[in-house]
Structures are given as C-alpha cells and as structure tokens.
Amino acid sequence: KAKVAIFISGRGSNMAALLYASLLPDSTYEVCLVAANDPDAEGLTLASAEGVPTFALSHKGRTRADHDAAMEAAAKEAGAQYIVLAGYMRILSPEFVSRWQGRMLNIHPSLLPKYPGLDTHARAIEAGDSHGGVSVHLVTEELDAGEVLGSLPVAIRAGETADSLAERVRFAEHQLYPRVLSDYVSRGSDPGYLLEKVRALALSLPEAH
Ligand code: GAR
C-alpha cells in the first residue's frame, strides 16, 4: 500500500474520513503520519488515539522555508510517498511544491476552477449559483489551480447560509477524498498508466537536435 502523510490545521474531519477509509480492505493507501502546523489542532488527538504517528510544529516565529522543511522532514522520516493536504491552511513554498509535484493532493471546498482561495461558500451563494461543491486537485505552485482529479456538486437550497452549505459540503468531501486518493495512488503503480504519462511527457519536450 502507498504511504501517505496527511497535513491538517484544525478539526481534521477529512483526515478522519481518509483514515477510516484506509482501514477498509480494498484501500490502496495507508496513513503513515498526521502532521499539523498547530499543536492544538483537534485532529491530532484523534490520530494518536487511533495509533497513527503524529507531528506538530507551530509555524509561528518560523520562516516559511524553515517550517516547510520541518514538515517535509517529518513526512519523509515516516516514509511518505504522497502528501495529502486536508484543511491545511498554509501556503507551501514553491520549492516544496515542486519536489512533491504529482505526489501532493489538496481538497478545496468549491467546484474548481470556480472560487479558488477563501470564503468559497459565501461567494457561491452570493453569485446565485445552483450548486457549491468540492474538488480534489493536484497541488501546483499556483493556489488551487492544479489538475482536478475529482469533484462533487452540492445543491444550494433557498435560505442557505455559508455555514449550512459548508456542513453539507463536508459530507461530500468525506465521500470524495478517500475515493480519489485511493484511485490516484493505485494509478501510480499501474505500468500502462505510467507509460502513457512518459509518452505524453516525451511529446511535450522540445525536439532534440
Ligand atoms: C474542509 O472543508 C476543506 O475543504 C477546507 O477546510 C476544511 C477542513 O475541514 N479546505 C480549505 O479551505 C483549503 N483552502 P476538516 O479540518 O474538518 O477536514
């Protein structure tokens, strides 16, 4: 099974969904670490209670580069092959992102490419959209702009508030994230898929002369 480190900043309900899904017999991944940038993140106590190694280091008083390096070292030490951001509310340095390109996923509470950034639910309601939703995407340097691996729309009801929508979107998140992660990491060990990727890359390279 592929080893994944989950980065959180708070409640960690997506982390919990990912963790319990990993215990089902057909899961293609296992959680080797839960790491947080806030030592008081609620999700940490659940992870430890379930016997998952945890790491916590506050970003306060540290440079982004130093904090990222410590988080990355913890992930590597735990043997992580993938990093999964689940409500991790820190922007990662471009160097970190490029080292994990194709091996780092994020969940974002909107139907990307709509509403990258914050306050996604309020913006969807304000715009009169029929649906909000959730997307799982690869992390690239540009915020919330990497390839979307999967998404689920969630209907916006009359009188909906950002909070009520957020709560329902979370139910959808908990279904989507484990499924997309499991599919994605299993593709990583599929020779046919890898060959396809290599071919695509070769076609996109400038001609040798
Ligand atoms: C989730 O709704 C996730 O989509 C969002 O934070 C929440 C974390 O909840 N992420 C972002 O807004 C990323 N910019 P959780 O801690 O209970 O999983």
The interface predicted TM-score (ipTM) is 0.98
Q: Tell me the pLDDT band of 105, cut-offs 50, 70 and 90.
A: very high
Alpha-carbon Rg of the chain, whole angstroms? 18
CA of 203 to the centre of ligand 1 (A): 37
Placement of tokens 């070292």 in the chain: 73
Model confidence at 208: pLDDT above 60: no
Q: Which amino acid is at 52?
A: V
Answer whether 51's CB lies under 8 Å from 32's CB.
Answer: no
Mean pLDDT calculated for residue range 69-79: 98
Higher pLDDT, 202 or 104: 104
| CA torsion through residues 74, 78, 82, 83, sign | negative
Q: Is the CB of 133 under 6 A from ligand 1?
A: no
Q: Tell me the pLDDT band of 209, cut-offs 50, 70 and 90.
A: low
Instruction: Please report, in range form, the residues annotated as the binding site.
Output: 12-14, 64, 89-92, 106
User: For the chain, how many residues are written?
Assistant: 209
What pTM does this model have? 0.92
Q: Is the CB of 87 under 6 A from ligand 1?
A: yes
Question: What dihedral angle (degrees, nearest 10) is formed by the CA atoms of 65, 68, 69, 70?
Answer: 130
- Residues with active-site annotation: 108
Instruction: Please report, in range form, the residues annotated as the binding site for (6R)-10-formyltetrahydrofolate.
Output: 64, 89-92, 106
Placement of tokens 């440079």 in the chain: 63
pLDDT tens digits, residue range 108-158? 999 999 999 999 999 999 999 999 999 999 999 999 999 999 999 999 999
Answer whether 30's CB lies under 8 Å from 49's CB.
Answer: no
Token duo for residue 154:
């969630």
